[in-house]
Amino acid sequence: MKVTRQPTNPGPAAWAKILPEAARHPTLEDDRHVDFLIIGGGFAGLTAARRISELEPTATVSVVEAFRLAEGPAGRNSGFMIDLPHDLASDDYGGQAARDHQSIRHNRAAISYAADMVATLGLPQACFQKVGKINAAATDRGIAHNQGYQEHLTHLNEPFEILDDRQMHELTGITFYKQGLFTPGAVLLQPAQYIQSLGAAIVSNRVAIYENSPVMALDQVGGMWRAETAKGAISAPTVILATNGLAQAFGYYKSRVVHIYTYASMTRALSADEVQRLGGAPNWGFTPADPLGTTVRRISGIGGDRIVIRNRATYEPRLSPSERRLRGVYAQHDDSFDARFPMLKGVEMEHRWGGHLALTLNGVAGFGQLEDGLYSACLQNGLGTVKGTLHGMAIAEMCLKHPSTIVDELLAEPAPKRLPPEPISEVAATIRLKLGERAAGQEL
Ligand SMILES: Cc1cc2nc3c(=O)[nH]c(=O)nc-3n(C[C@H](O)[C@H](O)[C@H](O)COP(=O)(O)OP(=O)(O)OC[C@H]3O[C@@H](n4cnc5c(N)ncnc54)[C@H](O)[C@@H]3O)c2cc1C
């Protein structure tokens, strides 16, 4: 079967741009046979490769990635690896405690597995910092969101701390935020450094990664799967699709994927004088109290002192946000930056970009067996760094029939729900996002 679409990534992968260039993995240029083929080199694909090689050290594994590692969404995100469910504060909460407890347990298992990879494989500590995160509120509406979230955390017996405006100012140097809700379990990633160093560390005489090798066709021939790229092919009895929403391009989850793009901008490195004018701590990360508000990271270290902001989400069923749309989003980024960082007026954005996420209507993943020998660790929904890691780990365990409560629980989830036909989905999603963003007001 021909793969109908290839991924698109507007703008540069900035987190990789601020690192020294990573060593290249080869492009696939010949015909190979391996025990396990993994398509997609993001969180799910690399974690699956690592877990297979751990459970079955003699197995041969190839990961094929359409671009270079960390050029896709895995290196384009804001780097929040979050242990708590995203929608804890949703209005329809009720009777969900058991589900939330399970999700938290899964997320923590993924974070703990990632931490173990960082330690065992010797990845740089700077790319994986378990420092927690803050849900930042700039308005009464944001504070009300935090209040709801706080109630659910109390109900779930999860620890948190409320920071007042003075504490938020001390931490950040800015006076924009009125309140913060700190939870300790999240990790802040330098996502490109994490993905690149994970890729480099898992390669061995048994595990290979092929970059710039988009799979263009995937077929089952005589009990064996065969994936073709422009210059080569790999056949394997077992294939794992780790392509997130692009699983649809392989013919799966038709009408079940909400294709969303979200966007970020990163300043140039701040001068010493600008760092002093800003004040506050050198590293922090805020997710917005209002789900459609702005995510902010203050980073320092290898790529210099910078601010990274992320906001806006658009429904893109054709996986191709227009130039006009990008211009509008980036203008919003400038407004959001100026409102928060008046002392940095005139500091330009050096990088601007967008990236793809895959949601489902009922928030479940595309996890499990698709066909004989073909498995899926896709459709991560909103917390893709943690869910991708979880599903990558679990799909390896499933393929190898390794006993796992997490696999059993994931397989017990319902299938992703079918979307209404187009253009109804597009209109409904666009209106919902627009109204949500308008209501977010100053939180944007
Ligand atoms: C701006 C932005 C901010 C975000 N912030 C966060 C955040 O803070 N926290 C969080 O948890 N999530 C965040 N996300 C979402 C997160 O990045 C994704 O959900 C996550 O990367 C999904 O992991 P994955 O491994 O399933 O898929 P991906 O990372 O998308 O990896 C799949 C890979 O498959 C490759 N691929 C696709 N088709 C083919 C093919 N035919 N052949 C070969 N390779 C193919 C792609 O190139 C891609 O590299 C953010 C996303 C964006 C864009």
CA 39-415-370 angle, 5° bins: 35
CA distance 61 to 49: 7
What integer best gives the mean pLDDT of the chain? 95
Residues 174, 341 contacting (CB under 8 angstroms): yes
Q: Which two tokens stand for residue 134?
A: 């803050």
Q: What is the whole-number distance in angstroms between the Cα of residue 247 and the centre of ligand 1? A: 12
Q: Considering the domain 14-443 in this protein, what is its CATH number?
A: 3.50.50.60
pLDDT, tens digit (0-9, with 9 covering 90-100), for 139-170: 999 999 999 999 999 999 999 999 999 999 99
Instruction: Give percent helix, percent strand, percent coil of the chain, each to the nearest 5.
Output: 35, 25, 40
| Structure confidence at residue 92 (pLDDT) | 44
CA distance 437 to 435: 5
CA distance 433 to 183: 26
Residue among 25, 78, 212, 296 whose CB has most ligand 1 atoms within 8 A, to mutate: 78
Atom number in ligand 1 closest to CA 69 = 49
Relative orientation angle of helices 43-55 and 191-202, to the nearest 10 degrees: 30
Residues of the chain with confidence (pLDDT) below 70: 86-95
Ranges of each domain in the chain: 14-443
| Structure confidence at residue 439 (pLDDT) | 85
pLDDT, tens digit (0-9, with 9 covering 90-100), for 322-335: 999 999 999 999 99
Residues 3, 229 contacting (CB under 8 angstroms): no
Q: Is the model's pTM score more than 0.85?
A: yes
Q: Does the Cβ of 243 fall within 6 Å of ligand 1? A: yes
CA distance 12 to 143: 34
Q: What is the whole-number distance in angstroms between the Cα of residue 280 and the centre of ligand 1? A: 31
| Structure confidence at residue 91 (pLDDT) | 44
| Structure confidence at residue 168 (pLDDT) | 98
Q: Does the Cβ of 214 fall within 6 Å of ligand 1? A: yes
Q: What is the whole-number distance in angstroms between the Cα of residue 9 and the centre of ligand 1? A: 10
Q: Does the Cβ of 39 fall within 6 Å of ligand 1? A: yes
CA distance 316 to 7: 12
Q: Which two tokens stand for residue 177?
A: 């935020």
